[in-house]
Structure 1
Amino acid sequence: MSRVLALVAVLCALATVALGLAYAGGHSPGALDAWAAQAIAGLGHTTLNVLVLPTEPYVLIPAIVVIAGTCLYLRRRTDALLAAAGPALAVALNTWVLKPLFDRWKNDILVYPSGHTVSLVTVLVVLVLLARPKVVTVVLGVVLLCCAAIGMIGLGYHYLTDIVGGTFFATAVVTGLRAVTPRRVPAPSAG
C-alpha cells in the first residue's frame, strides 16, 4: 500500500508542477478558466457563500480536531498525527513556497495553487485514508469539493485551474506523508 500511495504522491506532485508552469506568472484566465467562470455566472451571492463554507478555517480546524481526537481516542496515534500534520504542512508549503514560486495572480492576490482547496482537500484525503467505507467517503468528498469549487469560482476567489492544482498538491502531501509514515503491523494470531 505504501508504494501505491508514494506513486500517487509523486504523480500528483508532478501534475501540480506541470499545471503551475503552464500558468506561472499569469494574470489572466485560460480558456478552461473562462468557461468555468461563465458557467457559474448566474448563481446568487448567498448560494456561492454557502458553497464555499467547507473551505473556511472555522469549519476545517474543528474538523481536524475531531478527526485527530477520534484517532487518539482509538489509540491510533500515527493517524492522529497525519490528521493534524497533513493539513498544516500542506497549507504552509502552499502559502510560503508554491504560491510565490508560481506567481499567478488574480485581483492582486497569489492564487495558484488554491489555498482554500489545499485546506479542504487535505482534510478530505485524510478522511479517505482513515474512514470506512472508502467509496462513500470518496463520493461525498468529491461532491463537497465540486460545491466548494463552484463557490470559489463564482465569488472570484480562484480560477478552475488553481483549484485543480490545489487538489493535486493536497493529495500529494497527504498521500506522501502516509507513504513514509511507519505503520504498526498487527501481531499474527496465535490461535
Structure 2
Amino acid sequence: MRTTAAVCGLLALLLGLPFAGGTTPGAVDRAADAAVAPLGPGVLRALVFPTEPYVVLALGLLAVVLCLRAGRRLEAALALAVPVLAILLTSWVLKPLYDRWKNDTLVYPSGHTVSLVAVLTVLVLVTRRVFVGVLAAVTVLAAAAGLVGMGYHYLTDVVGGTLFAVAVVLVSWPAPHREPAPSTG
C-alpha cells in the first residue's frame, strides 16, 4: 500500500505542475469538455450528486459505523480523520501552491473529488469487498463527468484530486493484518 500511495502522491504533484498559476485548459481537458458537452444539465447535476457534502458525510459515517461494528476502533477513528486531513491539505496547501484558477476559484486539485475519493477509498479498505471497489470506481467516473460538464473543474483537476486522495488514505491507513489461524493441537 505504501508504494501505491507514493506513486499516487507523486503523480498528483507532477500532474499539476504544467497548469500551476494558470487558467488555460490542456488538450486532455478540452477533449473531456467536448466529450461531456452533449449531456444535459439534469444528467450533469445527477452525476455531481455524490460529491455533495451531505452525501460524502453519510458515506464517511457509514465507514465509521462499519468499523465500530467490527470492533476496529483505530480504523473507525481513521475513517473519520483521514478524509478530513486530505480535504484540509487540499484546501490549505495544494490549491494555493498550484494556484490554478477556473471561474474565479482555485481548482487544482479538485476538492470535490478529494472528499469523495478519500471517503470511498476508506470504504473500500474497510469493507475489503471487490463490489465496493467497482461501485466506488463507477461513482468517481460519473462524478468526474459531472464536475467537468458543470464547469466546476478541468479533468486534470479531478485526476489530481483522485490521486492525492488515494495517496493520503493509503499512507495513513494501517497495513492489513491477518488473523492467526486457530491452533489445531
After TM superposition, the score normalised by the length of structure 2 is 0.94
Gaps of 5+ in 2: none
Matched residue, 2:118: 122
Match of 1:138 in 2: 133
SS at match of 1:20: helix
Relative to structure 1, the CA distance from residue 64 to residue 187 in structure 2 (aligned partners, 3 Å threshold; closer, same or farther) is same
The match for 1:56 is 52
Taking the aligned partners of 2:25 and 2:47, their CA distance within structure 1 comes to 22
| 2:77 is the alignment partner of 1:84 | no
- Superposed displacement of residue 113, structure 1: 0.2
Output the CA distance in 1 between the equivalents of 2:22 and 2:2. 31
Distance 2:78 2:5 in 1: 15
Correspondence 1:98 to 2:98 = no
Alpha-carbon distance between aligned partners in 1 of 2:56 and 2:11, rounded to the nearest angstrom: 25
Confirm whether residue 154 of structure 1 aligns to residue 149 of structure 2: yes
| 1:36 partner SS | helix
Counterpart Cα distance in 2 of 1:66 and 1:165: 25
The runs of at least 4 consecutive aligned structure 1 residues that moved more than 2 Å come to: 181-191
In structure 2, distance between residues paired with 1:9 and 1:25: 26
* Counterpart for residue 190 of structure 1: 183
Note if contact 1:118-1:166 (Cα within 8 Å) is conserved in structure 2: yes
Q: What is the CA–CA distance in structure 1 between the aligned matches of 2:154 and 2:37, rounded to whole Å?
A: 13
Inter-partner Cα distance in structure 2 for 1:120 and 1:163: 11
Deviation at 1:187, TM superposition (A): 5.0
**SS of match in other structure, 2:93:** helix
- Report the Cα offset of residue 183 of structure 1: 6.3
Q: Which residue of 1 aligns with 2:15?
A: 19
CA positional deviation for 1:70:
2.1
Report % sequence identity: 51
CA contact (8 A) 1:78 1:183 kept: no
TM-score normalised to the size of structure 1?
A: 0.91
- Identify if the C-alpha distance between structure 1 residues 8 and 41 changes in structure 2 by more than 3 Å, giving closer, same or farther: same
The structural deviation recorded for 1:189 is 2.5
The answer (yes or no) to whether the contact 2:63–2:126 under 8 Å persists in 1 is no
> Is structure 2 residue 176 aligned with structure 1 residue 176?
no
Q: 1:71 aligns with which of 67, 72, 75?
A: 67
Q: CA RMSD in A?
A: 1.5
Q: How much does 1:144 deviate? A: 0.6
SS at match of 1:138: helix
Question: Any conservation in 2 of the 1:87–1:123 contact (CA below 8 Å)?
Answer: yes
Superposed displacement of residue 186, structure 1: 3.7
